[in-house]
Amino acid sequence: MDTKINYSLIGILIFTLCILMTTFLLWMGKYGFEETIYDHYLIKTTEGVSGLNIESPVKYRGVEIGAVDKIQIDPLNSEYINVYISIEVGTPIKEDSIAILTAQGITGLSYIEIKGGTQHSKKLANGATITAGKSLFDKLETSATDISDKLVQTMSRIDKLISNKNIESIEKLLINLEMSSRQLSEQMQLFLNAKNSLALEKTLENSAIITQSIADNKDSIQHLLSQGITLEKQASKTLKDISNTSQSLNSNLLTIQKKLDSGEYDLRQMTEPHLEAFNALLKEFEILSIQASEVLQQLKESPSDLLFKQKQYQPGPGEL
């Protein structure tokens, strides 16, 4: 039986195992053979950074691009917290990008989320400050504070509304409303008595009869309206003709007046042949006026003679 041990082979195996262990440890420790180059930025925030630690991840729209290097209170202004981060070179961090503290699940840990950044915005220089945005918890806290303040104001107003003075006023208002309703009901009952109901029914019946009569005589009414429109047009035309005639007569009179003034017409010569006939007409008119006066005098003295008096003839020769 050969019990001789090959120490050379054992040594080679141990040496190989040591190299593999060293490589594994270097890989687990994130020490690569190629060094990654980072840009460094500052985030100034007034929010709390609970759950954020050194080496907490920095993500750009969900993609991990770096880590937190340092967290400290701003020595120049204690209201701010300075968070220094390292981001891989080439990451498109723009001037309008914002950094938001985001919770990581339910573990209580947080990370930095970079959001925003338009295509045409300039790239943020190395060492510059990234604008801090409000986190979800900060927004919820602000909203809760606003809601709480508004709730307190609402409760205060409700308390003022239901004060003893307002309650008394509301009770008086309800009493007055009840009294007004009762009075209105009584007035309605008085109005809707038997006599008024019959009068109202009769009025409605008459209205129905009038409406039916208008409907039955619709054609006649339309014809009457059309005749009225025709008469209106004829009257308008007649008035227009009269106006035209008046204007023509006025024009003729003006023409005659002008000719008379200029001596073109001899009025005496024109009227002299007709004066004798006119005088005779005047004499006949005078005789007629005298006779009419006598008749009116007789009628005044005995009105019945106009109907019942018979004409008396003068007796002839030899008659009584």
Rg of the chain over Cα atoms, rounded to whole angstroms, equals 63
The helix (run of H) or strand (run of E) holding residue 37 is: none
Q: What is the pLDDT of residues 199-240, one digit of tens each?
A: 777 788 888 888 877 777 777 777 767 776 776 676 667 667
The string of DSSP letters for 234-247 reads HHHHHHHHHHHHHH
Handedness of CA 43, 48, 52, 53 (dihedral sign): positive
Rounded Cα distance between 243 and 253, Å, is 15
Cα separation, 296 vs 303, whole angstroms: 9
Encode the chain (320 residues) as per-residue pLDDT tens digits.
Answer: 455 667 777 788 888 888 888 887 777 665 545 567 889 999 998 888 888 899 999 998 888 999 999 999 999 998 999 999 999 998 888 888 888 888 876 666 888 999 877 888 888 888 888 888 877 666 666 666 777 778 878 877 777 777 777 777 788 888 888 888 888 877 777 666 666 777 777 788 888 888 877 777 777 777 767 776 776 676 667 667 766 776 776 777 777 777 667 766 555 566 666 666 767 777 776 777 776 666 666 655 655 554 445 455 455 555 55
Residue with tokens 């038997």: 194
Cα–Cα distance measured from residue 157 to residue 313, given in angstroms and rounded to the nearest whole number:
122
- Element containing residue 264 per DSSP (H, E): none
pTM: 0.39
Give the per-residue pLDDT at 69.
93
pLDDT at 165: 74
Neighbours of 81 (CB within 10 A): 19
The answer to whether residues 63 and 75 touch, using CB atoms and an 8 Å cutoff, is no
- Structure-token pair, residue 58: 């920095």
Phi, psi of 58 (to 5 degrees): -115, 125
CA atoms within 13 A on the CB side of 153: 6
Residue ranges of E strands in the chain: 38-45, 57-60, 63-73, 81-88, 97-103, 110-116, 129-132
| Amino acid making up residue 204 | L
